[in-house]
Amino acid sequence: MNNFKKFFLSKILRRKYYRTGKCKACGKCCTQIYVKHYKHVIQDEKEFEKLQYLHRFYTYLKVIGKDDIGLIFECQNLDPETHKCKIHRTRPGICRRYPQEELFSMGGALSDDCGYKMEPIISFEEVLEKSKKNSRFR
């Protein structure tokens, strides 16, 4: 990644990761979904019902379980046989932008065989180098 892009993502957009790779259309990210609203993950079905008035994406989801993170949803647009999205051309922006780093802050993770990877914008080596430089001036 060039320095300008790195600067833009990390300093302007305050991102820590950027996406590489390509979707393999396996459909795994359309199941086992957590929903984050402001700073918390939705735990309660009544609260979720209110969210359904806010965005059409929420109307596609149905609860399939709950764990210690929150309610777990599955999207009803996922074709159970082909594992393809039934509304691929008109899917919401949140699906087009997946995965984003917010996924990690919700306790989620990419499936092992997802075609995308989230790479740190500033590599571990760069962080180490920066911290060495700073310590020289102390």
Range in contact with ligand SF4 (rule: CB under 6 A) among 7-15, 17-25, 40-48, 126-134: 17-25
Distance (Å, rounded) from C-alpha 19 to C-alpha 115?
A: 10
Range in contact with ligand SF4 (rule: CB under 6 A) among 10-18, 48-56, 90-98, 117-125: 90-98
CA-to-CA separations, 39 to 9, 36, 134, in angstroms, rounded = 22, 7, 33
Q: Work out which of 6, 19, 91, 101 binds ligand SF4, going by CB under 6 A.
A: 91
Q: Which residues contact 71 (CB under 8 A, 6 or more apart)?
A: 34, 35, 41, 42, 43, 44, 45, 48, 63, 65
Range in contact with ligand SF4 (rule: CB under 6 A) among 7-15, 42-50, 107-115, 117-125: 107-115
The yes or no reply on residue 78 touching ligand SF4 (CB under 6 A) is yes
DSSP 36: E
Q: Work out which of 71, 75, 118, 121 binds ligand SF4, going by CB under 6 A.
A: 75
Question: Of residues 21-60, which lie at the interface with ligand SF4 (CB under 6 A)?
Answer: 23-30, 60
